[in-house]
Structure 1
């Protein structure tokens, strides 16, 4: 179970990011949450897969800020925005900037905090 804890944390944070976004735009949080989460959820899984492949031959540390966290963040952002565009959801420049910032704070922040505490 401990092995999957970092993935679980990332999934929860992506869901929170989407819920905050829906709430800030006065949209029904629970009713439309899946529509908002799925592109970023798939992007997150793609980011995790790329990070795992890049770590081949070395010990994969899912809590590492660099390169693991950055790759997961980039995969979540790029994958999420790409899938939103393909599915006719909004990808305004302002949204991309906000999403990049908040996802970095969430996905990189907890990894940085762990490093600081160690």
Structure 2
């Protein structure tokens, strides 16, 4: 698999979390000021960092399994108690939407990289006309 730097992969995961927060805040009209976004994002960002550390994600940051799945799971599972500690709610519907959105994006970019890598390899194996 093509070598992607861990920083690029971490940036992709951070972008997934920030898009989730911004879309949610815009959808619920709760304000998009940097402080408002940061106030909602911090539990997810802390949990994402924890996910990266626990899984040693920098070793194989673009792998869907186990890296992507475990980073996603730690991010979602870790963010919910932090939200509660911060005085925010975590109703089942929120947990479900969070889980689905972050799975689609955090696993999706990794699956896309895998697909592109496989197709490029297949293209190199085919003899020219």
TM-score of the superposed pair, with normalisation by structure 2: 0.82
Larger radius of gyration between Structure 1 and Structure 2: 2
1:1-118 correspondence to structure 2 within 5 Å: 2-30=5-33, 31-52=35-56, 60-118=59-117
Q: Secondary structure at the match of 1:29?
A: coil
Structure 2 segments unaligned to the other structure (5+ residues): 118-129
C-alpha offsets along residues 65-109 of structure 1, whole Å, 9 cap, x if unaligned? Answer: 000001110111011111001111010100000000000011100
CA-based RMSD? 1.7
- 1:3 deviates by 3.4
Within 2, Cα distance between the matches of 1:39 and 1:77? 9
1:9 deviation in Å?
1.0
**With structure 1 as the length reference, what TM-score do the two structures score?**
0.90
